[in-house]
Structure 1
Amino acid sequence: MQSSDILRQLMQRSGMNAAQLAQSTGLSESLISRALHGRIDPAFGKISAAAEHMGYQLILSPLEQATLDACNLHMEDLITTINTYAKTNKADSWPPISASMRELLESYASSSSKNTPDDLSIVLKRMPNKEWRAFMSGLYYKQHWPNEQDLTASDLRLDEQWTPLRKIYRSATQPDPDFLTFNVYLPQGELQWK
């Protein structure tokens, strides 16, 4: 079940509109509106806390819980891998990061419950430096994952272009536009795995 479905049920059961639900739960009216219109799918923890604030307890099925746990583990793996290699500044850091990112994206693609990762603002707090924060922002932007703090590209864009890759073939491969928004140069082919 998506967060928007849960919000609709809360509104229906309580007889509240979006503004009243926001005031009652502490969620922003903007977040509720974007969720109801399908523009974002807020993190389950945030919606669960809002429901508990209204006296409801959300219980996931074993499959939904296992999927949520697996997705969060893959996000943790990606962050750990980035943090490990970002500190060493090794030229061969991209292959393990790419493999970790692939696992993360595949876990969400195969998820039947459509769980989404933590909000971008939470993830950025665990990133080692501004370059990798810009990279993670590009990934969130590309995947349309939650950005409930409404962090903008101008907030996170690097002053100079940066790439996590050792070699760049600018003439052969176009950069991914979502990453380029944050001045991170990542050729589109780097996001396609066999």
Structure 2
Amino acid sequence: MTATDSIFSSEKKILNTIVAREDRESNQTESSNYNYWLYIFLCLLGMGGAVYIFFNKKKNGHVKYSENDWPDETYNILFEETQEKEKQEPEIEDLRELISLVQNNDKSFHLRFHEHFPSFNQQLLAINPQLSHSDLEYCALIKLKFDTKEIAQYKNVSVSSVFSKKYRIRKKLDINTNANIYTWMFNIG
């Protein structure tokens, strides 16, 4: 070996060392770029998941807000809706009681119905003062959305008798044959 060969071999070793170092640095740079993008992707994925969960809970009503979180008008609307729901609960219980009285064929049904819907009978009698107590009871059952078969069952009469009674009530109250009698009664009182 000559001196040139040893210089050439030294230069080759140095070049190989430099190239290897540059390759390592390049791999580290690519690795750090990969880690950087992976970190950004995971952060975005986490934030997206959090936003999705928040809006999903909000949509389903699971997110509770305090008074200070809402503008005044929105809070007032929510407060009024809550009060309205609280008022409806006793009304639902009253309706359940009325339905129970009908199902048990209790004689106090019409009296309790009149207490719950005080203007119903008055409005019907204003249309036709000739309505009988029986007519008013059938009207109350229709207002409570009992169908023909249920009325027949609870009043211990035939289905055809109920159809006849409904027809006579339509005539007495001058309800058009095209009108739904249940909707018409629901809008009274």
Asked if TM exceeds 0.5, the reply is no
Compute the TM-score of the two structures, normalised by the length of structure 2. Answer: 0.31
Greater relative CO (CA pairs within 8 A, separation 6+): 1
Select the structure of larger CA radius of gyration. Answer: 2
With the length of structure 1 as denominator, give the TM-score of the two structures.
0.31
